[in-house]
């Protein structure tokens, strides 16, 4: 029989399994225990629902190796996300209780348990299911029954594995600890047997544990008092529109861009009325009269009493772009939610009319690059 190969590779299938779970349940707080070089965290960073991502590993060197890949990119600053995202990495053992891992919706232990010594494996359920007590836990581990199908696999799959379990061994261990800590466990896996081979189960066996109770505030508060033992290796808060400085910058960029476009359009329209000989040219090529010093026709602002129009207008030497008009642009509306928020963000960043209803630009043809 052909040696088994997995496409996508098995580790990617494990990450995809977790990603689907996170996206299906729209989980916000996720921790990966035994995260090594943070590969799963890098995948989960792109789940739009995740707001807190934590990695824990006993090996600080492994954490430091690729932790920079969890840092925000320039694009994250240029176009901050709506959601907030904090990423933290800790050095410490899964057998230690630290409040940093309390309050999670999901804790994943991917290919971790088989690396634990007997004494650590004994402590593991009390720390993860008893103390950390997240809403869900995913534990994956090799299925030893699959090993004969793997090329060159004569004993354990990795020299650091302390054991490898059959389906029966894993399921009996998982069912026992689930019962003890009031969780339900369902079994699944990734990497199926190839056609024609004996049914031995998945190459990677997975247990998905779901907590059966709601933890009381009292209990969480008590556990929060536990001593901090993990060492913080990395901590980053992504720029997000939840932060006022990024939100204001996004509103200013969006709203003033459109305000500027409206100003240009209005001036071009008006100038083209003055420059008859060129009016046959395409709009982009029409030049305004260089000696222009005002409007040939008196301009009547459309906002007369009872007039509800929100179109930009010119009054005196100023162009008025009503905030209502800017707010009617879908992207500005989506960002701000109300004209009052738009006004608040624009105040101090652009000149506003005395009643605060419009952004004002001076009409300055000579110094305006679009017209000079
Ligand atoms: N979960 C990672 C993945 O899927 O890409 C890799 C897991 S790697 C095979 C096992 C990891 O568990 C190692 O990085 C190791 O340092 C870590 N580990 C071993 N014992 C641990 C412990 N007691 N507490 C936390 N991490 C531990």
* pLDDT for residue 247 is more than 80: yes
How much is the pTM? 0.84
Of 34, 127, 161, best ligand 1 pocket probe by most atoms within 8 Å of the beta carbon: 34
| pLDDT computed for residue 158 by the predictor | 87
* pLDDT for residue 125 is more than 70: yes
Q: Determine the Cα–Cα distance for residues 281 and 271; give it in Å rounded to an integer.
A: 13
Mean pLDDT across the chain: 89
- Which whole number is the average pLDDT over 108-136? 98
* pLDDT for residue 302 is more than 70: no
Tell which atom from ligand 1 comes closest to the C-alpha of 56.
25
Tell which atom from ligand 1 comes closest to the C-alpha of 160.
9
Q: Write 332-337 long-range contacts (CB < 8 A, 24+).
A: 332/251, 332/254, 332/255, 332/258, 335/241, 335/247, 335/250, 335/251, 335/254, 336/251, 336/255
In the chain, the domains with their CATH numbers are 10-237 (3.40.50.150), 244-362 (no CATH)
| pLDDT computed for residue 159 by the predictor | 86
* pLDDT for residue 306 is more than 60: no
| pLDDT computed for residue 140 by the predictor | 98
| pLDDT computed for residue 254 by the predictor | 94
Decide: 110 in ligand 1 pocket, CB within 6 A.
yes
Of 64, 108, 114, 115, best ligand 1 pocket probe by most atoms within 8 Å of the beta carbon: 115
Tell which atom from ligand 1 comes closest to the C-alpha of 40.
5
Across 192-201, 226-235, 278-287, which has the greatest mean pLDDT?
Answer: 226-235
| pLDDT computed for residue 110 by the predictor | 98
| pLDDT computed for residue 297 by the predictor | 38
* Inter-residue contact 236 to 76 (CB < 8 Å): no
**pLDDT tens, position by position, 29-87:** 999 999 999 999 999 999 999 999 999 999 999 999 999 999 999 999 999 999 999 99
Q: Determine the Cα–Cα distance for residues 359 and 322; give it in Å rounded to an integer.
A: 6
| pLDDT computed for residue 308 by the predictor | 53
Q: Is the CA virtual torsion 223, 224, 228, 234 positive or negative? A: positive
Residue with tokens 């990119």: 73
* Inter-residue contact 36 to 106 (CB < 8 Å): no
Lowest mean pLDDT among 92-96, 147-151, 175-179, 200-204: 147-151
Of residues 56 and 308, more confidently modeled: 56
Give the Å distance between the CA of 313 and the centre of ligand 1. Answer: 65
Minimum CA distance residue for ligand 1 atom 4: 110
Of 57, 92, 119, 162, best ligand 1 pocket probe by most atoms within 8 Å of the beta carbon: 57
* pLDDT for residue 371 is more than 60: no
Minimum CA distance residue for ligand 1 atom 15: 34
| pLDDT computed for residue 282 by the predictor | 42
- Which whole number is the average pLDDT over 207-231? 96
- Which whole number is the average pLDDT over 180-198? 93
- Which whole number is the average pLDDT over 254-263? 94
Decide: 57 in ligand 1 pocket, CB within 6 A.
yes
**pLDDT tens, position by position, 5-36:** 899 999 999 999 999 999 999 999 999 999 99
**pLDDT tens, position by position, 334-369:** 999 999 999 999 999 999 999 999 999 998 765 665
Q: Which residues contact 371 (CB under 8 A, 6 or more apart)?
A: 267, 271, 288, 365
Across 243-257, 264-278, 283-297, which has the greatest mean pLDDT?
Answer: 243-257
Decide: 62 in ligand 1 pocket, CB within 6 A.
yes
| pLDDT computed for residue 194 by the predictor | 85
Minimum CA distance residue for ligand 1 atom 17: 34
| pLDDT computed for residue 122 by the predictor | 98
Minimum CA distance residue for ligand 1 atom 24: 93
| pLDDT computed for residue 271 by the predictor | 77
């Amino acid at each position: 029989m052909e040696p088994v190969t997995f496409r996508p590779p098995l580790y990617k299938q494990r990450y995809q399994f977790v990603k689907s779970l996170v996206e299906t349940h729209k989980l916000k707080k996720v921790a990966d225990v035994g995260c090594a070089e943070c590969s799963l965290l890098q995948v989960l960073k792109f789940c739009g629902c995740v707001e807190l991502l934590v990695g824990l590993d006993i090996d600080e060197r492994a954490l430091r190796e690729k932790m920079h890949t969890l840092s925000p990119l320039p694009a994250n600053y240029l176009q901050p996300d709506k959601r907030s995202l904090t990423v933290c990495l800790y050095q410490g053992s899964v057998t230690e209780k630290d409040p940093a891992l309390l309050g999670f919706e999901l804790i994943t232990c991917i290919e971790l348990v088989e690396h634990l010594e007997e004494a650590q494996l004994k402590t593991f359920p009390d720390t993860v299911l008893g103390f950390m007590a997240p809403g869900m836990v995913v534990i994956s581990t090799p299925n030893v029954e699959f090993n004969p199908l793997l090329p060159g696999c004569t004993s354990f799959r990795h020299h650091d594995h302390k054991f490898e379990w059959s389906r029966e061994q894993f399921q009996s261990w998982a069912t026992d600890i689930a019962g003890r800590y009031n969780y339900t466990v369902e079994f699944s896996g990734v990497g199926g047997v190839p056609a024609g081979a004996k049914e031995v189960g998945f190459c990677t066996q997975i247990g998905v544990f779901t907590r059966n109770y709601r933890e009381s505030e009292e209990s969480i508060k008590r556990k929060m008092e536990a001593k901090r033992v993990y060492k913080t290796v990395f901590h980053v808060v992504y720029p997000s529109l939840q932060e006022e400085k990024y939100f204001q910058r996004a509103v200013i960029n969006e709203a003033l861009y459109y305000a500027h476009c409206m100003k240009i359009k209005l001036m071009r329209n008006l100038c083209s009325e003055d420059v008859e000989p060129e009016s046959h040219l395409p709009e982009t090529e029409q030049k305004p009269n260089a000696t222009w010093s005002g409007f040939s026709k008196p301009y009547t602002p459309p906002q007369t009493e009872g007039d509800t129009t929100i179109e930009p207008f010119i009054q005196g030497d100023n162009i008025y772009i009503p905030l209502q008009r800017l707010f009617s642009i879908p992207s500005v509306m989506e960002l701000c939610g109300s004209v009052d928020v738009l006004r608040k963000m624009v105040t101090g960043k652009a000149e506003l009319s005395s009643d605060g209803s419009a952004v004002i630009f001076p009409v300055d043809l000579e110094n305006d690059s679009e017209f000079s």
